[in-house]
Amino acid sequence: MSAEIDYYELLEVSRDADDATLKSSYRKLAMKFHPDRNPGCNESEAKFKQISEAYDCLKDPQKRAAYDRFGHAAFQNGGPGAGGGGFHGGGDFGDIGDIFESIFGNAFGGGGARQQPRRGADLRYDLEIGLEDAFHGKTVEIEVEVATSCEPCAGTGAQPGTGKRRCNLCGGHGKVRAQQGFFMVERTCPTCHGRGEVIEKPCKKCHGEGRVDQRKKLEVVIPKGVDNGNRIRLSGKGEAGPNGSPPGDLYIFLHIRRHAVFDRENTTLLTRAPISFTTAALGGQIEIPGMDGVKHVIDIPAGIQTGKQLQKRGAGMPVLNGRGVGDLVVEVAVETPTKLSARQKELLREFQATETGDECPEAKGFFDRLKNVWSDLTE
């Protein structure tokens, strides 16, 4: 490949793209330029090889770090990641672990062994639910697009009636060796990618991948008491592994919508209730409909002030995967009337005439402090 062609540009991603973005872009481009889809087109075949080489480099954290620092020089003779050359796929050393395996053999897991089947990727799905759903629990149906095992080839990647053969380049070992100075360097076979086998006739539907993208409907059971950031694991519902390998898992991340009345802190439900100034002065009761469908009676003590919190035990959120229920906390807000009848104004004036100043101790203390401050300033 020409050194002028940037790997990131080939894969049509930014330099800070994560693994999932790299993989998604590679799969789309690979399907677009695959030789089976473009028979006889040399440009497509060359492009397919280029993007495959780019992805083989960037999907490996160590190779990607070397490429980000040194560019293509990292894999050329004399470069920090240079190989011995002479093998299809260029002078790439492969994993650093491959170098040590070739030197120390079985002390690092045994050289020359085929790669084990790669498990499919785990997937994430963000699900928004209401506070009522978090309180009572719920079963919801979601739809996800996920790579699933290809039905025509049963995940093998080979056309029905055909199979796989031993890789001619590595002889079925999954690795090839090259002399590098005093050392014999071993790396993953670029033809079979470590599997030791190659597909004779790739499946026409999945193009030898053994999996295809498909939209699936799944049921998710949401337990009582879940909170923001909780996640639910659906084992084996993630991306299918290549060539029949086991699938990954699907993780459901929960987000709770803001409620019109209640806020939440762990298992505590909080709300703010306005009361009239006569109820605040004389005391009384209010009813708060709870998430449990019960009207909870809250006793208002006489003389309560704005901001005072009243607690109702056992009227909050259930404990997730446990026993017990949290509390309901009601913050009182004393509301001053904005519309008064003539008679109400008359009664309030009569009450005002009887005030001694001791009815509101907080106000009396505040104005006494103000008088002292004013006296200090004017002396």
**Binding-site residues for Zn(2+):** 150, 153, 167, 170, 189, 192, 203, 206
Nearest Cα residue to 177 out of 227, 105, 75: 105
Pairing of β 309-312 and β 164-166 = unpaired
Separation CA 219–CA 367 (nearest Å): 64
Separation CA 15–CA 26 (nearest Å): 14
Separation CA 350–CA 280 (nearest Å): 19
Instruction: Say if residues 287 and 294 touch (Cβ distance below 8 Å).
Output: no
C-alpha dist (Å) from residue 76 to 50, 73, 85, 182, 353: 16, 5, 9, 18, 97
| Three-state DSSP state, 110 | coil
The DSSP code sequence of 166-198 is: E-TTTTTSSEEEEEETTEEEEEE-TTTTTSSEE
Residue 332 forms beta bridges with which residues?
273
The DSSP code sequence of 230-292 is: -EEEETT-SPPPGGGPPP--EEEEEEEPPPSS-EEETTEEEEEEEEEHHHHHH-EEEEEE-TT
Pairing of β 250-256 and β 138-149 = unpaired
Q: Which residues are annotated as a binding site?
A: 150, 153, 167, 170, 189, 192, 203, 206
Instruction: Say if residues 116 and 174 touch (Cβ distance below 8 Å).
Output: no
Alpha-carbon dihedral of residues 328, 329, 333, 334, nearest 10 degrees? 80
Instruction: Say if residues 23 and 118 touch (Cβ distance below 8 Å).
Output: no
CA of residue 369 relative to chain centroid, distance: 55
Separation CA 194–CA 186 (nearest Å): 12
